């Protein structure tokens, strides 16, 4: 089946920093989604991407749908403490039906 690999697995942020994470696959995806999950909560949809090359922003978050359709990245600009959480990429493959495949997540932590 389709697998999504996220990197890094975890990262420390310092307030004000820009951070970046990405998601790659050996398969082509038709739609990419980015979610954020905080402890004890469900994933919250941040950004949806539909076309190769598409660049979409939501506040301080920017995500891009890779040209090859096999990757996507998420940037957080000017990070703040409440950006802490786990960020998941998720994707659809039309041929695989209407289920989302999730990546393993990038855990964002605050630098002590």
Partner 1 sequence: EPEVTQTPSHQVTQMGQEVILRCVPISNHLYFYWYRQILGQKVEFLVSFYNNEISEKSEIFDDQFSVERPDGSNFTLKIRSTKLEDSAMYFCASSVGGQGFYEQYFGPGTRLTVT
* CB of residue 58 to partner 1, shortest distance in Å: 12
* CB of residue 17 to partner 1, shortest distance in Å: 26
Q: What is the C-alpha separation between 76 and 32, in angstroms, rounded?
A: 17
Contact between 103 and partner 1 (CB under 8 A)? yes
Tell me, what DSSP letter sits at residue 78?
S
Contact between 34 and partner 1 (CB under 8 A)? no
Tell me, what DSSP letter sits at residue 100?
P
* CB of residue 92 to partner 1, shortest distance in Å: 6
Query: 106-110 and 10-13: which strand pairing?
Result: parallel
Q: Between 50 and 57, name the residue whose CB sits nearer to partner 1.
A: 50
Q: What is the C-alpha separation between 102 and 28, in angstroms, rounded?
A: 14
Binding mask 39-78 for partner 1 (x = CB under 8 A): -xxxxxx--x-x----------------------------
Query: 44-49 and 55-58: which strand pairing?
Result: unpaired
Q: Largest Cα–Cα distance in the chain?
A: 45
Residues that bind partner 1 (CB under 8 A): 31, 33, 35, 40-45, 48, 50, 88, 90, 92, 97-105
């Amino acid at each position: 089946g389709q697998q999504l690999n996220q990197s890094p697995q975890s990262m420390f942020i310092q307030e004000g920093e820009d951070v970046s994470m990405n998601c790659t696959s050996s398969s082509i995806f038709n739609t990419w989604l980015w979610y954020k999950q905080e402890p004890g909560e469900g994933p919250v949809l941040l950004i949806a991407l539909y076309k190769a090359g598409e660049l979409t922003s939501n506040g301080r978050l920017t995500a891009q749908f890779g040209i090859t359709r096999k990757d996507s990245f998420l940037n957080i600009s000017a990070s703040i403490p409440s950006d802490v959480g786990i960020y998941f990429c998720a994707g659809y493959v039309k041929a695989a039906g209407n289920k989302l495949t999730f990546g393993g997540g990038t855990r964002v932590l605050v630098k002590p």
